[in-house]
Amino acid sequence: MQMMKRMKDEAKRVREMTEHNQREIQNLRRKGKSAQEQKKRFERTSEMQKIMLEKRQKEVLQTNSKLKSVMALLKRTTTPKSITKAILTDEAEVTQLKFEILIFLYL
C-alpha cells in the first residue's frame, strides 16, 4: 500500500514537473518571438531614420548651394538700386531663394 502511494506521488510529481517545464518552454518561446519582433521594429526604425537622414543631408546640400547663389548675387549687386534691379529681373528665383533661406534658418 505504501509502495503504491509512493508511486502515485512520484507520478504526480513528475507530471507537475513536466507541466512546469512545458509552461516555461512556452514562456521562453513567447519571449523569443517578442524579441524577434522588437528587433524587426528596431531595424525598420533604423532604416527609416537612415533614409530620412540621407534626405535631410541632400536637402542641406541643395540649400547650401542655393545660399551660395544668393550670396554671389548679393556680392555682385552692391548698391540698393542694383539690388532692386536684380530682384525685379529675376524676381521669381530670388523670392524662392529667400523663402528657402528662411526655411533653412528656422530648421
Q: What is the CA radius of gyration of the chain?
A: 36
What are the CA-CA distances from residue 9 to residues 16, 17, 21, 66, 79 (Å)? Answer: 10, 12, 18, 84, 103
pLDDT in tens, 29-50: 999 999 999 999 999 999 999 9
pLDDT in tens, 65-94: 888 887 777 776 555 566 556 555 656 666
pTM over 0.85: no
Taking the alpha carbons at both ends of the chain, their separation in whole angstroms is 85
